[in-house]
């Protein structure tokens, strides 16, 4: 009866997050600078009173947006997941929304267990970009051979060593300890399409190197400008040299659409 209450066991909770990355210094927590991870972790702490660490499916760069980033957090608080969503959305800035929270297996790790990532990159092709889109698209009104870009986009599909598209400063010392040192990734879908004035590149794969999507887009733009040939894409990939590919496209057009997991990785068993 008068025994001290047991502390609740920690639940592992998967959060899905949407954010406008414009005003943040990227995902990863940094002292004295607003980041997505830092802001969400601070609000989880405010609600639960627990010091927590968020583990994201990957780090998004400064200015990059997310439609449904995934991150897990270990929490002792018994707050029901729907209440956690509501409580977080009440205290977070409007630029970050928690879409859902669900209990997952104790050993679930949002980065290690991610089996796919889906990104889109939005370009705006008309002369004048409406102010309400300019945070989310790269305005690009100059002529582009979109047919050539479409063909070039398809060349990225398949399993390749994408070293030519890795951030120039991505060397072994920068790679996280548990990250695969290989630059081999499998791209299952790589497509360019028009939607009104928007030219949208979508790419899905089992993983991406830092800056990889932005470097692919920068290369596609070079193809569109006629400065690189569609036929050269396989050679650019094969070169395994950053200097072979095009420049890094600006962050503002990039959106992490979602991160995919196998159902068995998520399964929290009897835990609710």
Binding site for a second copy (CB under 8 A): 18-20, 65, 89, 94-99, 128-132, 134-136, 139
What 3-state DSSP class applies to 231?
A: helix
Pick the closer one to a second copy by CB: 27 or 156. 27
CB nearer to a second copy: pick between 166 and 200: 200
Q: Is 71 exposed, middle or buried (0-12, 13-18, 19+ CB in 10 A)?
A: buried
Other CB atoms closer than 10 Å to residue 60's CB: what's the count? 25
Residue 111 beta carbon to a second copy: minimum distance, rounded to whole angstroms: 22
Are 245 and 211 spatial neighbours (Cβ–Cβ below 8 Å)? no
Active site residue 61: yes
Which of 20, 23, 32, 61 is catalytic? The answer is 61
Nearer CB in complex with a second copy: 94/176: 94
CB of 140 to a second copy, least distance (A): 13
Report the nearest approach of a second copy to the CB of residue 114 (Å). Answer: 22
Contact 132, 266 (CB under 8 A): no
Minimum distance from CB of 80 to a second copy (Å)? 16
What does 192-211 look like in DSSP terms, one character per residue?
EEEETTEEEEEEEES---TT
For residue 152, what are its two tokens?
A: 């070039």
Give dist(CA 210, CA 208) in Å, integer: 7
Q: Would you say 135 or 242 has its CB closer to a second copy?
A: 135
**Any idea which residues carry the catalytic annotation?**
61
């Amino acid at each position: 009866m008068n025994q001290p209450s047991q502390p609740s066991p920690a639940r592992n909770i998967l959060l899905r997050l949407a954010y406008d990355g414009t005003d943040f210094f990227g995902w990863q927590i940094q002292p004295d600078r607003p980041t997505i991870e830092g802001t969400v972790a601070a609000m989880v702490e405010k609600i639960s009173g627990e010091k927590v660490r968020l583990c994201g499916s990957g780090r998004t760069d400064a200015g990059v947006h997310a439609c449904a980033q995934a991150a897990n957090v270990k929490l002792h608080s018994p707050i029901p997941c729907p209440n956690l969503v509501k409580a977080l959305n009440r205290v977070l800035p409007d630029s970050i929304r928690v879409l859902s929270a669900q209990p997952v297996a104790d050993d679930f790790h949002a980065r290690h267990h991610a089996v796919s990532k889906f990104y889109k990159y939005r370009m705006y092709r008309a002369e004048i970009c409406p102010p309400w889109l300019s945070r989310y698209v790269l305005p690009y009104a100059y002529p582009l051979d979109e047919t050539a870009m479409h063909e070039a986009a398809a060349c990225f599909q398949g399993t390749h060593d994408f070293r030519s598209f890795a951030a120039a400063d991505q060397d072994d010392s920068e790679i996280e300890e548990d990250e695969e040192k290989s630059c081999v990734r499998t791209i299952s879908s790589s497509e360019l399409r028009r939607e009104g004035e928007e030219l949208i590149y979508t790419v899905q794969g089992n993983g991406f190197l830092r800056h990889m999507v932005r470097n692919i887009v920068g290369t596609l733009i070079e193809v569109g400008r006629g400065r690189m040939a569609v036929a050269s894409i396989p050679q650019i990939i094969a070169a395994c040299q950053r200097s072979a590919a095009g420049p890094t496209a600006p962050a503002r057009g990039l959106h992490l659409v979602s991160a995919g997991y196998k159902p068995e990785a998520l399964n929290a068993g009897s835990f609710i």
